[in-house]
Homo-oligomer: A and B are copies of this chain.
Amino acid sequence: MSLRHALLGLLSERPASGYDLLKRFETSLANVWPATQSQMYTELSKLADSGLIGVSAQGPRGRKEYTLTDEGLAELRHWLTETKPQRNTRSDILLRVFFLNVITPDQARSYLAELMELSEQEHEALRRLADSIDWGDDPLSVNGRIALEYGLRFNAMRREWAAWAADQIR
C-alpha cells in the first residue's frame, strides 16, 4: 500500500506526469521501492479518482501533469507521522541460508562467496552514485544522503556477515 505514498511524496516536490515519475523512480527510489510502468499509471488513476492528486495541466501526446492536492499532502503527512512502518521481512537471500545443509559445504561456501561479491558490487555502485551527485544542503540532498548511507552500511554489514558465515561452515 506504499506505492501511493511514494507517488504522493514525489509529487510533493513538484508536479509531474506519470512518465516523469517513472523516470524519477529509476534514479531515486528504484532501490527502496521499485515499481513498474503499468503499476504506476494504474495507481495514478486511483489517486486522481480519490482526490489526493489532480490533473493540473495537459500536454502533447496525451501528457497529464499531476499535482498534489491539500488532501494528498495531508495523507502523506499522516502516513509519515501516524502510521508505523511495517518491518521488512521476506529475504530470499536469508531463506536460502536455512537450507544450506541440503547442498555440499563447498556449494554452500560458494553461495556465501557470491553474496560477499554482490554486497561489494552494490556498495561500490552506491559509492559511485554518491560521488556523481553534488550534495547540497537542501532537504532532498539530506534525505537522499541518509538513504544512501543506509545502503553503504547495509552492504558493508552483509559482506562481513557472509565472510563470517562462510567460516562457520565446516
Report which A residues bind B (CB closer than 8 A): 2, 5-6, 9, 12, 28-29, 31-34, 73, 76-77, 79-81, 84-103, 107, 111, 114-115, 118, 122, 139-140, 142-147, 149-150, 153-154, 157-158, 160-161, 164-165, 168-169
Q: Which of B34, B85, B145, B154 contacts A96 (CB 8 A)?
A: B85
On whether the beta carbons of A94 and B143 are closer than 8 Å, the reply is no
A12 B102 Cβ-Cβ under 8 A: yes
| Complex A-B: 7 CB contacts under 8 Å | A12-B102, A76-B102, A77-B102, A77-B103, A80-B102, A87-B122, A100-B139
Q: How far is the CA of A79 from the CA of B157 in the complex (A)?
A: 25
